[in-house]
A and B are shown apart, each in its own frame.
Chain A
């Protein structure tokens, strides 16, 4: 413990660098996962797409059960075969996007589905176009649950991003990885504790955001 603290004091720049690249990884992957996941969730919640929805959610669930190391390995092979950079940031981001899909797609799907059909019909009855119904009625009413999914995903990604160090992506996985290889307990602790704190911070921040986007009229109590 003492050594870990000493390391922090002596190399704050190192720790900052790891933390920042870790966050950057989560941020980029999370951002793309958000756009992709919400779009996919919106698509599959459409009328008459129940079968597609089932399939998509099924695959998203399967993706979650692939061990992250295995997925990283798989991606390395795939990317190499496609002639792309097989180690470092790119495969890490792709893997994280895949992991982020389930909570986001699932929550978006559920969120849209729970909006009262009567609400949509009223919007229609007053002359709103499909697009206006989506942005003025469906999305505002679905937003709290979608945000809960995004929060879930981001916390998950913060943790999994640690393992990306094994395929050469920068982040807080690096000190842990090196610590294990060189039997440096202090590095393992520094990495582990920082990741945990980061995850808690992300969770707290997203909780705040979630509350902010919840329309006032539909807040519980």
Chain B
């Protein structure tokens, strides 16, 4: 748990970078510090691990005043990830990840083991990447390593300063989704700085919106989108509130979770029967392990013997943890009215239609999206 009590930062020249900011981040929660550049969000974050000294106020980490702890010890127990410039260029990926474990004096074997596990967690092959240097990696791969390094000593708390800032939009979306998936497993208490409103709504359990060093509104993303406190919040969220609302909802929350399906190795006859009984015009086709292969529609049923022969293969899929505007964008760009929704092993979990999206959105804007 992180607690800020009337925290201020005044520089010797009189500049007030942060003014009496108070908020609390619950254990296992991701709190986004959001705001235009110069609003004090990064300063606020850096005061938590004391990279910037606090002028007045208190910051507690799991109940302990951070100024009462040795600063190096404090920092070794707080994961720290910044934009991709953060990797040490003279160290290999493995050495980078082992930085904090080395500082903490872990035995070598344990360090190596941990680095390997972390690379697997961020989906990089340890055999291939451990000995590579940051300059040999792509932007997205560097971000993954940066995340692995921040997690190396398994700190309960993470500070992340625009960790997905310096990469292309498509890779960024992938990384955000993967990170959310990882966060569901590891449940760290995270303070995450960004100026990207979409990223904030998507990633945050809570958002702290700042302006000119002050905390303007603190709450759930839905609160900011649907219940802005003042004009500034409203303007910052922007006019396209409905579109931002799409960021609040995940595919798994609105999809049809029991889609009609048929196995590729079944007879066409079986598919026809299923369409009749379930009153649908199409079926999702899966293999024996439930992995999604493609579609078969009523019109395809005229010929062939096995479903495999007549199905239309498709690799365009949404994943369960995608937010709705990603799914919508996928629909629009692929000109599909419905998307297959798969889990991380590509197993068919549901189907998402345009109507599902519309329904989800109208529910969210009226009720409390809990």
Interface residues of A (CB under 8 A from B): 116, 118-119, 121-129, 132, 137, 140-141, 215-218
Contacts and interface: CB of A to CB of B under 8 A. Distances in A.
Contact of A215 (B77, B89, B136): B89
B75 A217 contact: no
B90 A141 contact: yes
B267 to A, nearest CB: 58
Classify the secondary structure of B's interface with A: helix
Q: Which of A118, A124, A129 has the most CB of B within 10 A?
A: A124
Contacts of B72: 127-129
Contact of A125 (B80, B88, B89, B91): B80
Contact of B89 (A124, A127, A128, A218): A218
A125 B51 contact: yes
A126 B90 contact: no
5 contacts: A122-B80, A124-B75, A125-B80, A127-B72, A217-B136
Given A118-B86, A127-B100, A132-B103, A217 B80 contact: no
The number of chain B residues touching the other chain, given as a range, is 20 to 34
B89 A122 contact: no
B133 interface: yes
Given A126-B103, A127-B72, A127-B75, 4 more contacts: A118-B86, A125-B80, A127-B76, A141-B89
A188 B338 CA distance: 92
B74 interface: yes
Classify the secondary structure of A's interface with B: helix
Contact of A119 (B88, B103, B136): B88
A211 to B, nearest CB: 14
A169 B71 CA distance: 54
Q: Which of A119, A124, A128, A217 has the most CB of B within 10 A?
A: A217
A4 B298 CA distance: 102
A125 B75 contact: yes
A127 B90 contact: no
A126 B135 contact: no
Contact of A126 (B75, B133, B136): B75
Nearest to A130: B72
A201 B75 CA distance: 48
B82 A118 contact: yes
Interface string B63-106: 00000000111111100101001101111100000011001000
B100 A217 contact: no
Contacts of A216: 90, 133
Contacts of A137: 88
B134 interface: yes
B86 A127 contact: no
A100 B86 CA distance: 35
Contact of A116 (B85, B100, B135): B85
A140 B99 CA distance: 15
B49 interface: yes
B86 A122 contact: yes
Given A118-B82, A125-B75, A128-B103, A217 B91 contact: yes
Contacts of B85: 116, 118-119
Given A116-B85, A118-B86, A218-B90, A127 B73 contact: yes
Nearest to A217: B133
B80 A126 contact: yes
A212 to B, nearest CB: 14
Contacts of A127: 71-77, 100, 103
Nearest to A140: B90
B76 A217 contact: no
Contact of B49 (A119, A125, A129, A140): A125
A135 B271 CA distance: 68
B86 A217 contact: no
Nearest to A116: B85
Nearest to B79: A126
Nearest to A129: B72
